[in-house]
Amino acid sequence: MSGYLSGVLAIFCVNLIFAYGIFVTAAAGQINLGGAGFQAIGAYATGWLAGQAGLPIGVSIVAAALITALVGFLISFPVLRTRGVYMVLATFAFGEVIAGFLLHSDVFGGAMGMVVPLHVELWVLVVGAAVTTLATFYLMATRLGLAMRAVNDDEDASIVMGVNVRAVQVAAFTIGGAFTGLSGALYALNFGFVEAQYFNALLSIYILLYVLIGGTQTAWGPLVGTVFFTILPELFRVGGSARYLIFGIVIVFMMALRPEGIVTRSLIRRLSFRGGAHAS
C-alpha cells in the first residue's frame, strides 16, 4: 500500500472512532461541539504517559481512554444542566478551554507541541476502528442503547416510561469520552506529534457533520458519514481549489435532501425487508 493510501486510511480510522464518540452522545439527544477538546485530552495524555512516564503503548492507550471517559463523566453534570443551544455553547466552550490550556502549558509543549516517542502501525488503527464500530453496534442493541434512543426521540415520554434520563445522558457522555480519547491516543501514536492548534473548533464541527450527515438514528450513520467525508474530498482533489466549493455544494444539497441523515431507521427497515423478500 502506498504512503498516500496509508495516510488516508489512518485518518479514516481515527475519524471513524472520533465520530462514534460524538454519535453516542448525539444518540442520547445531546449535541457535543467540544469533541476536539476530548480528542486532545486523549492525544496529550498518551503522549505524556508514553514519553514522560515511560508506560507501554497498550497501557498508555487504555489510560488515555479512561482519563477522557472520566473527564466526560465529570463534565456531563454541569453541561447537562443546560438545554438546546446553550448546551452546544457549553461543549464548545469546553473544547476551547482545553485547547487554550494546552497551548499555554509548558508541561505539554505549549505552542511547540509534543513529540510522541512511541509508534503504532496502521493495523492497530484498523483494529481499533473495527472494535469501536462493533462495540457501538452492540451498545445500541442493549437496554442502555434502547434507552438512549428513547431519550433522543422523546425525553418526556421516556421519563413517564421510567427511564432515568440523567443517568442515560451521563453514561453517553462517559462512553463518548472514552471513544474520543481513544481516537486521540491512536492519532498521537500513529503520527508521532501533537499540537494544540490541530484540535480546534473546525475539527469539532467537521466530526459533528460526519455524524449528522451520516445519521444519528442508527450506528451505520457515523460509518457512512466518515466514508462520505473522507473519500469525497479525495475524489474532488483533481479539481484543485474548486474542490472546496464543490464539496460545500454537495453538503448543502445533502442537508436539504436528507436533513435526518443519509442512514435512517426507516431506510434500514426497507433494506432489511427487501433482503428478506429476495431470500424468500
- Percent residues over pLDDT 70 in the chain: 91
Spatial CB neighbours of 138, under 8 Å, sequence gap ≥ 6: none
The pLDDT assigned to 244 comes to: 65
The pLDDT assigned to 49 comes to: 93
- Percent residues over pLDDT 90 in the chain: 55
- pLDDT over 50 at 61, yes or no: yes
Angle at CA of residue 118, ends 70 and 62, nearest 5°: 25
Residue closest to 232 by CA, chosen among 259, 255, 251, 206: 251
Picking from 101-110, 185-194, 265-274, which range would have the lowest pLDDT averaged per residue?
265-274
Helix H or strand E segment including 174 = helix 165-191
First to last CA, the chain: 41
Using pLDDT thresholds of 50, 70 and 90, give the confidence band for residue 242. Answer: low
Query: pLDDT (tens digit, 9 = 90+) per residue, 111-164?
Result: 888 989 888 999 999 999 999 999 999 999 999 999 999 998 888 888 888 889
CB 17 within 8 A of CB 131: no
Cα 195 to Cα 69, 109, 185, 200: the distances in Å are 21, 8, 13, 10
For residue 216, give the DSSP letter: S
The pLDDT assigned to 98 comes to: 94
Of 15 and 156, which is predicted with more confidence?
A: 15
Provide, for the chain, the percentages of residues in helix, strand and coil under a 3-state DSSP scheme, each rounded to the nearest 5. 80, 0, 20
The pLDDT assigned to 261 comes to: 82
Picking from 32-36, 53-57, 250-254, which range would have the lowest pLDDT averaged per residue?
250-254
Query: In Å, how far from its chain's centre is CA 43?
Result: 14
Using pLDDT thresholds of 50, 70 and 90, give the confidence band for residue 239. Answer: low
Q: What is the mean pLDDT of residues 230-244?
A: 66
**Alpha-carbon torsion, ordered 17, 18, 20, 21, to 10 deg:** 120
Give dist(CA 273, CA 275) in Å, integer: 5
CB 154 within 8 A of CB 3: no
**Alpha-carbon torsion, ordered 13, 19, 20, 22, to 10 deg:** 150
> Given the C-alpha cell 465520530, which residue does it identify?
19
- pLDDT over 80 at 96, yes or no: yes
CB 222 within 8 A of CB 176: no
pTM of structure: 0.91
Highest mean pLDDT among 1-5, 25-29, 69-73, 227-231: 69-73
The pLDDT assigned to 280 comes to: 46
- pLDDT over 60 at 55, yes or no: yes
Q: What is the mean pLDDT of residues 171-179?
A: 96
- pLDDT over 50 at 196, yes or no: yes
Q: What is the mean pLDDT of residues 40-67?
A: 92
Task: 240-245: list long-range contacts, CB under 8 Å, 24+ apart.
Answer: none
Cα 46 to Cα 83, 108, 278: the distances in Å are 33, 11, 49
**Alpha-carbon torsion, ordered 57, 101, 202, 12, to 10 deg:** 0
CB 215 within 8 A of CB 262: yes
Q: What is the mean pLDDT of residues 78-107?
A: 90
